[in-house]
Amino acid sequence: MTTARRLQRVINARNTSDGDGVKIRRIAGRDVLAQLDPFLLLDEMHSQDGADYMGGFPSHPHRGFETITYMLDGAMRHRDHLGNEGVVSSGGIQWMTAGAGVIHSEMPEQTDGLLHGFQLWLNLPASKKMTPAAYQEFDRTQIPVVKLEDDSRITVIAGTVTTPNGTVTGPVADIVTAPTYLDLQLAAGAQVQFPIDDTHTALLLVYSGATAELTDGQLGIYSHGDHVVIEASGSGARALLLAGSPLREPIVQHGPFVMNTEAEIEQAIQDYSAGCLLA
Ligand code: FE2
């Protein structure tokens, strides 16, 4: 017997800015954290106007979670204080496990033209919050795309997708919350179905067009069940499907630090101001 997941709650992304004045659409908030678990936040940057993004995200820290940067158009240069540097370019992804600490900058590699990308924050369990920082980086050629008969396309960043033509697994591996991260490009009226572990949280962010249930800028949170069915509207849809194993741990967040207790947040602030975030 199979149980389809139903849409339980819809969150509207809000327009805000972060970094040095970068305009974003953001899904976050204390009142939804428990339902997003293990995810914490999802930001979308999307502008043709350099004034909306050229300030970028100058040097800032992270501790206690993972940041996943996925670029559709344009590029972001990443530099951290360990000397790691790279560019996430169109179609590429950077999966950064910040763990005990990373201090980095994320700056657009352009001053005009289309910049479109996402940053997802994914929590780490208490047992992994102080692990050494680690990166997984993949460019467009390393991320599989499943093409369906109706010209729909499914980009498989993490997790597994099975179609009549076979099974495709994304390149991101060894993440403790066993996430699924799919970018769906659905043709008008297309219907797709994905099995999702019944214990996992499942979310869908529509970022262009609409589905039967969600419009552009809305995130849907699904009930439990063993699969999800998504139907594009008559104009088609672009959407991110996210799923992962919830941690069910206390969350104490202070800006870029996400820990389990107030004392751990105090420690993170002290370590950062003392210049020893990685200790
Ligand atoms: Fe960052």
The pLDDT of residue 279 is 47
The token duo for 193 is: 């179905």
Q: pLDDT confidence of 204, banded at 50, 70, 90?
A: very high
Q: pLDDT confidence of 91, banded at 50, 70, 90?
A: very high
Claim: this prediction has a pTM higher than 0.95: yes
C-alpha distance across the termini of the chain, in Å: 50
Q: pLDDT confidence of 1, banded at 50, 70, 90?
A: low
Q: How far is the CA of 191 from the centre of ligand 1 (A)?
A: 35
Q: How far is the CA of 113 from the centre of ligand 1 (A)?
A: 22
Instruction: Please state the rounded mean pLDDT for residues 181-209.
Output: 97
Per-residue pLDDT of 35-87, as tens digits, reads 999 999 999 999 999 999 999 999 999 999 999 999 999 999 999 988 999 99
Q: How far is the CA of 178 from the centre of ligand 1 (A)?
A: 22
Instruction: Please state the rounded mean pLDDT for residues 252-268.
Output: 97
Q: Return the residue matching tokens 């950077």.
A: 94
Query: Distance between CA 96 and CA 91 in Å, rounded?
Result: 16
The pLDDT of residue 29 is 87
The percent of residues in the chain predicted with pLDDT above 70, rounded, is: 99
Q: How far is the CA of 99 from the centre of ligand 1 (A)?
A: 12
Q: Return the residue matching tokens 């109706």.
A: 150
The pLDDT of residue 206 is 98
CATH of span 7-273: 2.60.120.10
SS3 70: strand
Q: How far is the CA of 226 from the centre of ligand 1 (A)?
A: 33
Q: What angle do CA 127, 32, 27 make, to 5 degrees?
A: 95
Q: What is the mean pLDDT of the chain?
A: 96
CA atoms within 13 A on the CB side of 48: 0
- Domain boundary assignment for the chain: 7-273
Q: How far is the CA of 19 from the centre of ligand 1 (A)?
A: 9
Instruction: Please state the rounded mean pLDDT for residues 108-125.
Output: 96
Q: How far is the CA of 65 from the centre of ligand 1 (A)?
A: 11
Query: Distance between CA 13 and CA 268 in Å, rounded?
Result: 29
Length of the chain equals 279
**Given 3-state DSSP classes, what are the helix, strand and coil percentages for the chain, each rounded to the nearest 5?**
10, 55, 40
The token duo for 9 is: 């709650």
> Among positive and negative, which fits the CA dihedral 13, 17, 19, 24?
positive
> Taking 90 as the threshold, does the pLDDT of residue 227 lie above it?
yes
Q: How far is the CA of 232 from the centre of ligand 1 (A)?
A: 33
